[in-house]
Amino acid sequence: MNLIIDVGNTYVKLAGFERHELVFKKTTKLSGVVDEVNKLKSTYPRLKQGIVSSVGRLKKPQIKAVNKGFNLLELNHKTKVPFKNSYDTPETLGIDRIALVSASVYHYPDNNVLIIDAGTCITYDFITNDNEYLGGAISPGIRMRYQGLHNLTANLPLLETETPDKIIGTSTSNSIHSGVVNGVVNEIDGFIGNYQEKYSDLTVILTGGDANFLSEQLKSSIFATSNFLLEGLNYILEFNSN
């Protein structure tokens, strides 16, 4: 049984997989991750190995404590992955992007796949039907755009995310909502269209914290799953266990 540890800025997602079947998923604070992992080891004695994706946020003493009596793989750019990585600077490729591409290989093998992760940033990652990862794009996410308008100007307010009810904003607030949300939607639709011009058999996956908010507004048919990154981490662990 596999333990997946996905470390964010404040919270940690923990998931258990029996091979490729999700058994449990929970969230804990970063400060309490060691205690929570120990509880899970007691509750699920079949947990024998795990993978941690932390981008340096999990301190070495915490990793050492989690790794005690346990086979823990720390994901980095040197980890063996189930695809050919043709990124020019693999050492700078975010491990979350590595996990998402791995998940696409597991779910959609031999497909041209564009993975769109709508979170703090919006990342676009493309892998060919020959299992070659080429790269993609990075742009500001929804909240970053709202915050940028507020922080980098003198008078624009900081608003909560809201779906605009019309394209023409008739107030400053409505104009911000229209600019941010419609800007993101048109950007994503534009990227999808550009890729489809070159790859007519393209599979598009939308994931990330803003995926549900955006999915109803996008024109293109997409596949959305909240566990996609966790499944990718599990697949990398399985790939390295064989």
Which residues fall in the annotated binding site for ATP?
6-13, 120
Which residue of the set 35, 88, 96, 110 is catalytic?
96
Catalytic (active site) residue 210? no
Edge-to-edge strand order for the sheet containing 11-18?
21-29, 11-18, 2-7, 49-53, 71-74
Rounded distance between C-alpha atoms, residue 85 and residue 103, angstroms: 14
Rounded distance between C-alpha atoms, residue 68 and residue 238, angstroms: 20
The annotated binding site for substrate is made up of 87, 94-97, 172
The annotated binding site is made up of 6-13, 87, 94-97, 117, 120, 172
DSSP track, the chain: -EEEEEE-SSEEEEEEEETTEEEEEEEEEGGGHHHHHHHHHHH-TT--EEEEE-TT-S-HHHHHHHHTTSEEEE--TTS--SSEE--S-GGGS-HHHHHHHHHHHHHSTTS-EEEEEESSEEEEEEE-TTSEEEEEEEEE-HHHHHHHHHHTSSSPPP------S-SS-SSHHHHHHIIIIIHHHHHHHHHHHHHHHH-TT-EEEEESTTHHHHHTT-SS--EE-TTHHHHHHHHHHHHHH-
Residues with catalytic roles: 96
